[in-house]
Amino acid sequence: MAVNRIIVWLFFSRMHDTHLLGIALFFTLIFQVLIFTTTDPAIVLFCLFFFGFGMGTVWPTIVAMVGARFKKSSGSAVGLVAASGAAAVPVIHQVIGILSQ
């Protein structure tokens, strides 16, 4: 994740947040589809690496966008986003388990 964030900072720091988020989500979607459509362990491992690489961009970008959008109450806004993400984790993990079968 640290390497991912350094690369994003070096090469994409002048890009608009919404464009960066869209590219990262599209990037992760491609590798997620590949993960679920192949049975070759080497390809899955390769795809998992790049899926994680793309997801490493998503969370900090969302937090930055929320903090910038709600400047007067950025702490509460970011806290609400974090709490929402934590509430979604059990559901997402169940869905991932179902899809993996």
pTM over 0.75: no
Distance CA 83, CA 72 (A): 19
Give 19-73 pLDDT, tens digit per residue.
888 988 998 999 999 998 998 999 999 999 888 888 888 888 888 888 888 989 9
Give 77-94 pLDDT, tens digit per residue.
999 988 988 888 888 889
What local confidence, expressed as pLDDT, does residue 37 receive?
A: 92
* pLDDT at 15 exceeding the cut of 90: no
Rg of the chain over Cα atoms, rounded to whole angstroms, equals: 15
What local confidence, expressed as pLDDT, does residue 43 receive?
A: 93
Distance of CA 87 to the CA centre of its chain: 16
Instruction: For residue 14, give every residue at least 6 positions away whose Cβ sits within 8 Å of its Cβ, in sequence order, or none.
Output: none
